[in-house]
Structure 1
Amino acid sequence: MPATILVVNVNTTEAVTEVIRASAEAAVSATTRVVALTPRFGPASVESNYESYLSAVGVLDAVQRHDGEFDAVVHAGFGEVGREALQDVLDVPVVDITEAAAHTACLLGRSYGVVTSLDRAVPAIHDRLLLAGLAGRCAGVRSVDLPVLEIEANPELTAKAFVDRATRLVEDDGAEVVLLGCAGMAGVHEAVAAALTVPVVDGVAAAARLAESLVALGLSTSKARSYAPPRTGDVRGWPLRAAGGGGRSTGGSGE
């Protein structure tokens, strides 16, 4: 049976979801089906800790309300929280684009650098890489200082700014691989890659392909300890569905 991968945007902007979908579809096999989801509630763009935690609930809701079977989930938020919660409630692989991009980069060079949107996103990305045990290979994180939605709306401006920051990462910081540190940057990957002499990794593409590989290998999240199903029967007023639509859920929540 062909695999179905849910790729979930962390914000509620449909145009960003479309960029994410196109990037994921281009990366996976022709027989793999990509379904891109936009949360029904949450921030239009995720640019702060406050918005990141709000978006995590919206992403959970979108996945658990999805009507249809799926074999893996890609959490398409670079440096955002929420991946672990999905792993708690699902029995299929969940791949975060931050970790997927960094793991891929570590196979391509000794060090990598990240170019992201706003400067305030830099600490959050450092924190996620540290939590994942990947910070030691990170040469630096630089921002183009553009809001997420402006990145999506102005690909030429974004590409120019990205190339400038990426060049500084390579020449000044010693990065041997460069990561696109925002899901909305996926649309400028080709232009940026053509301007640089080092590999450029799009986290959405890397995560989608990695998720597809995990499905093919028959592997998923361990439920031994950290990501065991949650005991949420006594949570009151929780907005999520008790069981996840047509997807395979290992845990639910009270209505």
Structure 2
Amino acid sequence: MRYRFALIRSFTLSAASGHPAAAGGRTKQESLPNHADVAHLLSDVDWELLAGPVAPYGDWAVENREEFALVGAARLAIVKQACESGKYNAIVLLGGGEPGAPAAREIARRYGIPVTSSAFSQMHVASMVGRRFSFVDLAESHSMHIYDLVLQHGFADRCASIRSINFPHSRPRYDAAGRDLHEEKRKALRGEPSAAVEEAVAAAVEAIEEDGADTILFSCSGTFWLRPFVQKRLAEIGWEVPVLDGLSTSITLAKALIDLGVDASGLVFPGDHPRRWRRKRTF
């Protein structure tokens, strides 16, 4: 079976924002963050990159609970349209904080379409390759959203820590000059020293040595570019530790669900009028 994926962005910003998520006349490969890192995973996939909803809170990247809730609700209509189109056999929700993911899975299950998302995919893969994982995150408010996702997905006993490198998104009343992840990425790709790389490596080492992590994850899509740099540096200093990111794990898990012929349990995501229903739910 040929894989046919809709990759749906979390949000869309104006061109004036200067953010990579801004609308623009670029190819889908140019518009997909870190495409070079996942091109081999998409080589056997017919995929489209769907624009996310226009961010209703302002012209900056999502970071806190309020913003995740707003774009999550707004993205659901795009998920439903993708399912109704009949063009796709899986949906990959972009964005490390996976806004709207549970409701998106509920919608897609009606069409027999699996949905994967970043935190969900990373934590499940991490549980297969190790016992305890740590997230490297970018900001305090974002870390609390990830904390909630760890609990939501039932991985509190497998998460060793969430360590922040404090590179918040630029937003009103905060100027990211000097702590701009996008500029740090450009430096790293040019082969120049990058404070974000150094601090992410330090956070990963501390997670391993102090928190007991055996696998390293990244919580925000804005940090996924750090994965190969951190993986290389950890290997160089002798730590044989898997380093994951949400995009590659989401794509891989979507393929696995298609190959298994499953999407989501109807007992977790029941339809409007299920033929069988439970009188009791236990914990």
Same fold (TM over 0.5): yes
- 1:64 and 1:93 mapped to 2: Cα distance? 13
Which residue of structure 1 aligns with residue 245 of structure 2?
202
1:179 and 2:179 correspond: no
Which residue of structure 2 aligns with residue 19 of structure 1?
33
Displacement after TM superposition at 1:132 (Å): 1.0
Q: 2:47 aligns with which of 34, 40, 46?
A: 34
1:53 and 2:53 correspond: no
After superposition, where does 1:120-199 map in structure 2 within 5 Å? 120-148=141-169, 150-155=180-185, 156=188, 157=194, 158-196=196-234, 197=239, 198-199=241-242
- 2:271 and 2:198 mapped to 1: Cα distance? 45
Higher relative contact order (CA 8 A, sep 6+): 1
Deviations 1:4-53 (CA, angstroms, capped at 9, x unpaired): 1222221325725521555444334x221232222131153111111001
Q: Say which is worse superposed, 91-100 or 145-154, in terms of deviation.
A: 145-154
- 1:102 and 1:63 mapped to 2: Cα distance? 23
- 8 Å CA contact 1:20–1:36 kept in 2: the answer is no
Root mean square deviation, CA, Å: 2.3
The one-letter code matched in structure 2 to 1:226 is V
Q: 1:99 aligns with which of 100, 120, 144?
A: 120
Displacement after TM superposition at 1:135 (Å): 1.5
1:226 and 2:264 correspond: no
The one-letter code matched in structure 1 to 2:154 is G
- 8 Å CA contact 2:10–2:53 kept in 1: the answer is no
5+ residue gaps in structure 1?
232-255
Q: Secondary structure of the equivalent of 1:19?
A: coil
Measured at CA, do residues 230 and 167 of structure 1 come closer, stay the same or move farther in structure 2, by a change above 3 Å? farther
Greater C-alpha radius of gyration: 2
- The alignment covers a number of residue pairs equal to 229
- 8 Å CA contact 1:95–1:210 kept in 2: the answer is yes
Displacement after TM superposition at 1:166 (Å): 1.1
